[in-house]
Homo-oligomer: A and B are copies of this chain.
Amino acid sequence: MTQQNPSSTPIRVGIVGYGNLGRGVEAAIGKNPDMAVAGIYTRRDPARLQPLGANVPVHAMEALPAHREQLDVLVLCGGSKDDLPEQSPRLAALFSLVDSFDTHARIPEHFEAVDAAARAAGTTALISAGWDPGMFSLQRLMGEALLPDGATYTFWGKGLSQGHSDAIRRVPGVAGGVQYTIPVDEAVERVRSGSRPQLSTREKHRRECYVVLEPGADAEAVRRAITGMPHYFDQYDTTVHFIGAEELAREHAAMPHGGFVIRSGATSKGVGQVVEYRLQLDSNPEFTASVLVAYARAVHRLNRAGQHGCKTVFDVPPGLLSPRSAAELRADLL
């Protein structure tokens, strides 16, 4: 049903960073005929990087400032810890862009830094796109706005958590491993029923770990080190499975994720209303990338309309995410 943007040649996108997320952005742009990958920018040796598309130009990161006339919008695919706090403000002084900054507690300061750069330069920069922050944030906002007398519940999973998998791999005696976050079915059902329960951390999610031991490691000591790890695991019911390296590579290489945002509220005495949003993602980075690409389209349009500065998903009229015209959207989707 997607149609070519009637107004122009394809939107020229620069992909900044080319890990799982950058590859996902390249794949997502391939699904959107009104957009094109104009270049991939990397800190690695460009000659050794293999894009999905045969004719996609790869450049060193340093080439970016000279490419201002060749790019309509950047999609930043670096990490929230070290890359984006530096890259997003610096590049917003040169380009319109989208990032997936996901350190929730530091969003206000990231917003201020990017906003100052973008306003001064007349660019448009949208931060914290993806699914959480991103689609889940929108649902939390809409739930609260539509049902002010209510409670919002966010559940994550079943999904592979990168941070918790990294924590497992730092435990002495562990050769490799992954961690899945899993919502507790009973908690989801209680929320869905409209009962607005108070749920503890342990009641909402459980954790499952698949671990490959180093030769001679003490399995029970590793299990105790994982399940007792403060903050990461000690507040959860955690199960540790010991498996072989082949099984880890074969069964646990994908990056599924997802979850639920549920708003449970009342519109009058005894009248309950439940709104549920659910994602089931075979690939977390590919879905995040798809969200970034749709918001890159919107950012380009906002910029052309003279709306400069830093934006979030809360600021974007949903129609701007679609390649179709407003009249088509009203006729076909409203």
A residues with a Cβ closer than 8 A to B are 1-2, 24, 27-28, 31-32, 104, 107-108, 111, 128, 133, 135, 137-138, 140-142, 144-149, 192, 194, 267-268, 270-283, 286-287, 289-291, 294, 297, 312-319, 321-323, 326-327, 329-331, 333-334
Contact = CB atoms under 8 A, between A and B. Distances in A.
Given A278-B278, A321-B141, A312 B330 contact: yes
Q: Copy number of this protein in the oligomer? A: 2
A194 B279 CA distance: 12
B290 A334 contact: no
B322 A318 contact: no
B24 A267 contact: yes
A145 B312 contact: no
Contacts of A192: 280
A192 to B, nearest CB: 7
Contact of A273 (B281, B297, B319): B281
A274 B286 CA distance: 12
Nearest to A32: B148
A24 B147 CA distance: 13
Contacts of A313: 318, 334
11 contacts: A28-B267, A107-B334, A108-B331, A111-B330, A142-B318, A267-B283, A267-B286, A273-B290, A275-B277, A276-B277, A317-B317
B322 A315 contact: no
Given A141-B333, A273-B286, 18 more contacts: A31-B148, A104-B334, A107-B331, A107-B334, A141-B318, A141-B329, A142-B321, A145-B297, A145-B318, A145-B321, A192-B280, A267-B289, A273-B280, A278-B278, A312-B319, A314-B318, A315-B317, A317-B317
